[in-house]
Amino acid sequence: MTIDTPRKLTGVRDRVDLIYRGVTRSGGIIVLVIMLAIGVFLGLRASQAISADGFEFFWQQAWEPDAGKFGIAAVLIGTILIAIVAVSLALPMALGTSLYISEYAPLRLKKTLIGLVDLMAAIPSVVYGLWGFFALQGSIVPIAKWISQNFGWIPIFAVDGYDPNDPLSTTTVFTSSTFVAGIVVALMITPIMTSIMREVFSQSPIGEREGALGLGATRWGMIRSVVLPFGVGGIIGGTMLGLGRALGETIAVYMIISPVFVIQPHILQNGASSISSLIALKYGEASAFGMSALMAAGLTLFVVTLIVNFGASAIVARSRSGASS
């Protein structure tokens, strides 16, 4: 008895198909080349500064490239702190909003809300910066004060130079902080996170939803047992995308923070830093070597966001909704 082996299929593509494939493939190649060139050129430009600085580049906090004393320790940690504040505020907001739109909102309102969220994702960052600087900055002081008074025993919420018992002490220590920048960035990334999460939630299989409801689940029970497990890839993917945007956000952060070049672990306190605002701040007066140092900082930011994104893709690819998020 012979075992059936599948017949080998070979197709002959005609010329039209070959041309078509060639054209689309060349599009892919161009895009790939552009994307790889970003890393290559930044690396080339940055090599001068990094080779001059060596490993000190990762430990040094100050940024005085022309004095030979520069490093990304302070700005990198500042960037990450702002991003963490932003994501930890934006995640619950985006999750709540996307669940509301996909599960709770009345049908008539749904389309409007989806459009609104997409529109919000497109609002330029400079507008959020304006709002943060002119509207939020003043009204955030009592909140920051309240947190630092009640949770000041947690190191990151501590604020130096402010004594709640001294009525004359100034509250300006609470402005231009990592916290304020984080709130603004959180608002900027909430719509894009919401948009991705909602898209994934709305794709969760209708059969399973109805099955859960038919077995007597409440709406929240259905969400917890069907929608959230299905959409976990979208939640992580959306959050990571938001994190990537938060890490790279320039203008809004630049408008709000007052830059410092020491590690500033107190998020409520005046003075913060981020790599992108460092570049925006210094590129104008940078010498050739200073520019190379800035390129090195940009390269670091690039690598960090790449790692975040690859991590996100790896997680998302394993989830059920992965392919579509």
Partner 1 sequence: MTVFDTPIVNEESALADAAAHEPPTQEIHHDVPRKIHVMRVSDVLSISGAVAAALAMTTLIFTMLAPVGGIVGFLVVAYILFLVTYAILVSFDETWPIVRDRVFSVAVHTLAIIVFATLVFVVAFSISRGLDALPHLNFFTEDMSLAGPLDPLTKGGVIHAIVGSLIQIGIALAITIPLGLTTAVFLNEVPGPFSRFVRTIVEAMTALPSIVAGLFIYATFILILGLDKSGFAASLAISVMMLPIMIRASDVVLRLVPSTLKEASIGLGADNFRTMWKVTLPTARSGLVTAIILATARGIGETSPVLLTSGFTAAFNADPFHGPMVSLPLAVFQFVKSPEPSMIARGFGTAAVLMLLVLILFVIARMIGGETVAKREKRAQTRRRLWGAIVSAAGPGSALLGRGIARIGSRLPGGQARAAQEKLRSQISHVAKEAK
Give the footprint of partner 1 on residues 46-65 (CB under 8 A): none
Cβ-based nearer residue to partner 1, 223 or 232: 223
Rounded distance, CA 104 to CA 93, Å?
A: 15
> The tokens of 52 are what?
């001059």
> Which residues have CB under 8 Å from 301's CB, separation 6+?
79, 247, 248, 275, 276
Which residues within the stretch 221-280 sit at the binding site for partner 1 (CB under 8 A)? 221, 223, 240-241, 243-245, 247-251, 255, 276, 279-280
Q: What CA–CA distance (Å, rounded) separates 80 from 263? A: 11
User: In this structure, are residues 175 and 131 in contact, taking their beta carbons and an 8 Å threshold?
Assistant: no
Burial class (CB within 10 angstroms; exposed 0-12, middle 13-18, buried 19+) of 276: buried
CB of residue 25 vs partner 1: minimum separation in angstroms?
6
Measured CA to CA, the distance from residue 187 to residue 182 in angstroms comes to: 9
β-pair partners for 64: 69
- Find the binder of partner 1 among 180, 187, 256, 268 (CB under 8 A): 187
The residue count for binding partner 1 (CB under 8 A) is 102
Nearer to partner 1, 129 or 271 (CB): 129
Which of these ranges, 14-22, 52-60, 65-73, 154-162, lies near partner 1 under the rule CB under 8 A? Answer: 14-22
Between the alpha carbon of residue 91 and those of residues 16, 235, 237, the distances in Å are 48, 9, 12
- Closest distance between partner 1 and the C-beta of residue 193, in Å? 10
Cβ within 8 Å of residue 31, ≥6 positions away: none
Part of the chain binding partner 1 (CB under 8 A), chosen from 69-77, 152-160, 166-174, 218-226:
218-226
Q: How far is the CB of 30 from partner 1 (least distance, A)?
A: 6
Minimum Å gap between C-beta 219 and partner 1 is 6
109: contact with partner 1 by CB under 8 A? no
Instruction: Return the residues of window 136-165 that contact partner 1 according to CB under 8 A.
Output: 142-143, 145-146, 149-150
- CA 254/CA 257 separation, integer angstroms: 6
Residue 18-47 contact track with partner 1, rule CB under 8 A, x = bound: -xxx-xxxxxx-xxx-xxxxx--xx-xx--
Q: Which stretch binds partner 1 (CB under 8 A): 59-67, 152-160, 168-176, 187-195?
A: 187-195
